[in-house]
Every structure is written in C-alpha cells, then in structure tokens.
Chain A
Amino acid sequence: MAEEPDRDGGDDLGEDKETIRERARADSRWHPVYLAVVVVTALVIAALWAFSRAYSS
C-alpha cells in the first residue's frame, strides 16, 4: 500500500522540513491577531445588543 500524503504537504510543494517548521513559526505569530478578532467581534455584538436595549426599552 502506498504511503498516505505527507501531513505537512512538504513533498507536494518541494520544501524541506526546516522551511515548513519556519513557516509554522511564522504562522503562529498570527494567533494573537485571531484571538483579537474573536474578542472584538464579541465586544461588537455586545455593544450592538446594549445599543438595541438602550433604545428599545
């Protein structure tokens, strides 16, 4: 049975493991930004809810 595809996809893109690890490190720098998006979205929905409550009651 042939091997399953490489989990990192390195074979397909012709890149070595070090490049892939470097890229994963670079990608991980985005995690705080993603968290910020989720937090800001929650705050925006809460603000809209408060706006709605303030003017509807």
Chain B
Amino acid sequence: MGLLDWIVVVAYLAYIIWSGVKLNRQSQDAEAYFLAGRSLPWWAVGLSVMATQLSAITLVGTTGQAYSDGMRFIQFYYGLPLAMVILCVTAVPFFYRARVFTAYEYLERRFDARTRSLTSFLFLVSRGLGVGVIIAAPSVILSIVLGWSEAATVFAMGLSTTLYTVVGGVQAVTWTDVKQMFVIFAGLFVCLFVILSKLPAEVSLDGALHLAGAAGRLTTVDTTFDLKQTYTLWSGLVGGLFLMLAYFGCDQSQVQRFLTAKSVDEGRTSLLMSAFVKIPMQFLILLVGVLVFVFYQFERPPLVFNAVAERRVAEGARASDYAAVGAEYTSAHEERERAAVAYVRARRGGDERGRERARAEYVLADGRFNAARQRGLTLVRATGGDANFTDVNYVFPTFVVANMPAGIVGLIIAAIFAAAMSSISAELNALATATTIDFYRRHYRPDADDRHYVRVGRAATAVWGVFACVVALYATSLGSLIEVVNRFGSFFYGSLLGVFVLAVGVRRARARGAFWGLLAGMLSVWVASLYTDIAFLWFNLIGCAAVVAVGYLLSLTDRRPDANGAETL
C-alpha cells in the first residue's frame, strides 16, 4: 500500500469516528441511546439493515467464492424477500407497537421471564463470540495480504468501532452505517470499472461474461433437490427463508434496526428496501468476483492466494513437488489464455461450428488449469496438516493489492473496513441493549432513572467491545474456534425462530412449551449435525419445526393461562 492508499484509509477511519462521536448529544436518555427516540427515516434504517448484514467476510468471501465456484451463492438470498414480507406482517408491528427495547422483552409479555432470559442469554453468548469472529476474519486476511500485524488490525477495527458506538449509541451506529454503505458501493463500482478497463482490448463485457459462463461461473439457479448441497434454489427459498426470518426477526442486532424507525410503516419500508435491493447488490458483489476470474484468464494468478501458506510449502520438505506443480500450473494457464482469446475471437467472427469448437477447447483448458490448482492446494493441505484449507477469502484482497492503482487500493481496503465496522457496531449496540434491558434493568435495577441506563449501556458497549477484541485475538490463532462459533449460531437461530413462531402464531402456546421447545429444537439440530450430512441452511427449518412441534404439544398439557396475554396473530 502506498502513501495515497494510507491517506484514504486513515481519512475514512477519522471521518467515521468523528461522525459517530459527534452524535453524543442526541443520545442522552435510554430511548435515544438504544432506539434513537424511534425517529429515524426508513432509508437510513434500510441502509443500516443492509450494512449490518454485510460483514467484511461476506464482501471478501463471496467475491472469492465467485472466483472459484461462480455465482451459485446468490441462491442463499432467494428466500430473503419473502422473509421480509412475513416480518412486515408479523414482527415489525408486534415489536414496534409493544414499545419494547429488545425482541426478547416481547417473549416475557407473551410467555415468562425465564423464556426471555434464556433467549437473550443465547443471543449474548452467540453474538458475543460471533462479533469476535467478525473482527478476526478480515484481520487475518488483511494481515497476510498487506503484512499488517494481526493485533494492530484487530484493534484498529474493534476499538475504533467501540469508541463511536459507546459515545453515540444507536444514532452513531445507523448514521455511520449509511456512510459506510456509500463507501462499500463506491469501492465495488470503482473496482468493477477498473477490472473492465484492465481486460485486453478485444475482450468486451459481453465476451468476458461468455468466458465466465463457459467456465461454469454464472450459475444462478440450480434446481437440483439435494439436502446435502448448500446452494440450490430450494435450499435458498426454504432454508434461506427460515434463516432470514430468524436473523431479521429474532436477532436483536437486526430487530433493533427497525425499532429505531419513525413509525411501523417506516420500519416496514426499511425492510422492504432490503427485499428489493439485496439480491441485485449480492449480484454486483459476485459479478466483481466473476470479473476477477476473467481478469486472471489473461494474467497468471498465484497458485495459492494465501501467501503465508504458499511460502510454507514452497520452502518446506515438499518444495520440489510444489515447484513441479507450479510449472504445470503456469503451462496450464498459458494454454487456457490462448484458448480464451481464441474463443473470444470465434464469438466475434467465426461460424457456429468454429464457436462451438473454440468453446469446447476453452472448457477443456480451464479444466486442466483447475486440476493443476487443486494439486497445489492439496500439497498445501498435506504440508500444513489442515484438511479443510481454502484460500477463497484471500482471492479478492490479493487481487486488489496486486492490480489496483494507487488510491483505489486504499478505497477498497476502506470498503472492507466499512463492511466490518458496520456489522461490529450494530452487534455491540445490540449486545449492550440486551445486557442493559434484559438483565440489568429486568433483574438488578428495575427503577433507576434513564440517564443511569445510558451509563450502563455505554459501559456494556465498552466491555463487549474489549471482549470482542480479545476473542478476535484468540480466534486469529484458533481456526476451529470460528467453526465452533458458526456451528453454535446455526444451532440457535432456527430454534429461536421457533419460539417466536409459537409466541406470535400459536395462541395455545404456553411458557413451559416455549422454554422446553427451545431446548428440544437446539438438541434436534445438534443431533442432525452429528448424524446426517444435511447442509446447514436446512438446520434452521429443523430447529424451528422441532420447537413448534414440541412447544405446541407441551402447551396442550398445560392448562395455565399466559402471564400477560401479549399480542398474537
């Protein structure tokens, strides 16, 4: 990174921290600090919803995934619009009109304090560890690609975000999210145009897409019905629907977004904004990855994008094997480049048979190239002793640093920071809200004044921020911890959704059924993950169905009335 890039990154950080901290004066009472006085416009809330969901690992990981596997990941989001419609009918009016601070507060009105505390506790544990991973993942990548210290990257991201979230509360979270979304979009569009400008003159956008399509990188709809496949139309529509319902309707980091809207209708509009924008936005991110793939048809890409892992194998006991694979890889790349140029030319001027022949040769050359790369990755796995090693997350940052002009590298690194910080700030704010409202105010000091809860909220944000940085420092050295946290999250989401389905949609549901149903749901997901190969998106459906079934059956045996009789459908 050159001086200009550093100036861009430092200017971005300084501006975001300043613009968050200056909102301190508007965050002096509990409703202002945690819910912005329910005063925010729909477009700001809508952008904040999207910024919270889009973490750095989503931005970097999905571009890398598009490079290596194509666009099939987009199917993950096909259930999102329908989930938003369902939430607009149910969660938004129910939570907003109940005047709650947290989604879990509603569960006490509907069931009891035990169910509220358990769900809020699960959220705190899952998200407390999860926010550490959100900081750790991009820190590891940036440290390897840019040579930065992992600890410095963790603290630059974690503590700067904690600072403005502590001071400015949810106002700072939302308004910095808005600015961060503009930085992310600017980074993506600039990146797209620079890649297109760097393609050979004879390769147009149309030609680039035909190359990507021939190499199988443009699959956006896979109608195969296979529970073991992660990304298909059905897993996206059904599994994705349940995941999005759980994430946007039961996770405080998202529920808190629409609770800050001016009205129920503005809250609805903010979610529907995501329903319309999310799939096209994800298409744009994946398109960047696909164009990186096309760019590397004409430039030799690294055999392994993780430079540290590559150095380890290149300088280790199997260095000669790796050198041989490297030579094969270079030769395969040259062959593929020739085939790609021939295919582009055939498409422009050749007859139908010539085009078909050129396409078939290009597909074969791409297959040989991929096989050489897989041999390189297999060597890295064997040398490092990590059977699950993948370099997908390193593709995009490596490409940016090696190929983007001065200043643009800084802008894209700032966009990666923006994606990370927008998620971290919302998570910290939600963790502090649940800690303060669901535990401190509920169980310890129910009658303190407003300013006291703001002070507690600020302290809780700071503690969660420091905790997340500490988790991130450990997570950078323990790869398996990331997997554990993600797995725990998938156990929890579908089951939590089941409790809310019982609360909102099943009038006969009672507190005992909800509490034990939640535990049964988590247990059923755990069993499914241990004894089946079902892809994780389906866990949300399994967990939800188990909670509703067990919760309903137990409720039938319970003749006691509800404690408070909160609103149901």
Mark A residues whose CB is within 8 Å of B.
1-9, 11-13, 27, 30, 33-34, 37-38, 40-41, 44-45, 48-49, 51-52, 54-57
B218 and A12 contacting across the interface, CB-CB below 8 Å: no
| Residues from chain B with Cβ under 8 Å of A33 in the complex | 272
Indicate if the CB atoms of A49 and B220 lie closer than 8 Å.
yes
Q: 29 A–B contact pairs at CB < 8 A?
A: A1-B561, A2-B561, A3-B561, A4-B562, A5-B507, A5-B562, A7-B507, A9-B565, A11-B565, A12-B98, A12-B565, A12-B567, A13-B97, A13-B567, A27-B93, A30-B89, A30-B265, A30-B268, A34-B89, A37-B84, A37-B275, A41-B275, A45-B221, A45-B233, A45-B279, A48-B279, A52-B213, A55-B210, A55-B213
Q: Per-residue CB proximity of B544-569 to A under 8 Å, as 1/0?
A: 00000000000000010110111110
Contacts of B89 in A (CB 8 A): 27, 30, 34
Query: Is the pair B218, A30 in contact by a Cβ cutoff of 8 Å?
Result: no
Q: Does chain A have a CB within 8 A of B327? A: no
- Does B85 sit within 8 A of A, measured CB to CB? yes
A12 close to B564 (CB less than 8 A)? yes
Q: 8 closest pairs, A vs B, by CB?
A: A9-B567, A5-B565, A55-B213, A2-B561, A48-B220, A56-B213, A41-B81, A49-B221
- Across the interface, do A34 and B88 meet the contact criterion of CB distance under 8 Å? yes
- A7 near B568: Cβ-Cβ < 8 Å: yes
Give Cα A8 to B564, complex, Å: 13
Q: Are B220 and A37 in contact (CB under 8 A)?
A: no
Q: How many A-B residue pairs have CB under 8 A?
A: 94
Q: Taking A9-B568, A13-B98, A30-B88 as contacts, is the C-beta distance between A41 and B218 under 8 angstroms?
A: no
Q: Bound complex: CA of A51 vs CA of B562, how far in Å?
A: 52
Using A12-B564, A41-B81, A55-B213 as known contacts, list a sample of 14 further A-B pairs with CB atoms less than 8 Å apart, ordered by residue number in A: A4-B565, A5-B564, A7-B568, A9-B567, A12-B566, A13-B98, A37-B84, A37-B276, A38-B81, A38-B82, A48-B283, A49-B220, A52-B71, A56-B214
Q: Is A51 in contact with B275, judged by CB distance below 8 angstroms?
A: no
Q: Considering the complex, give the chain A residue whose CB is closest to the CB of B215.
A: A56
Give the chain A neighbours of B88 by CB distance below 8 A: 30, 34
A34 to chain B, nearest CB (A): 5
Give bound CA distance, A2 to B559, whole Å. Answer: 10
Q: Chain B's nearest CB lies how many Å from the CB of A44? A: 6
Q: Which of A3, A40, A45, A52 contacts B78 (CB 8 A)?
A: A45
Which has the most chain A C-beta neighbours within 10 Å: B81, B97, B214, B564?
B81
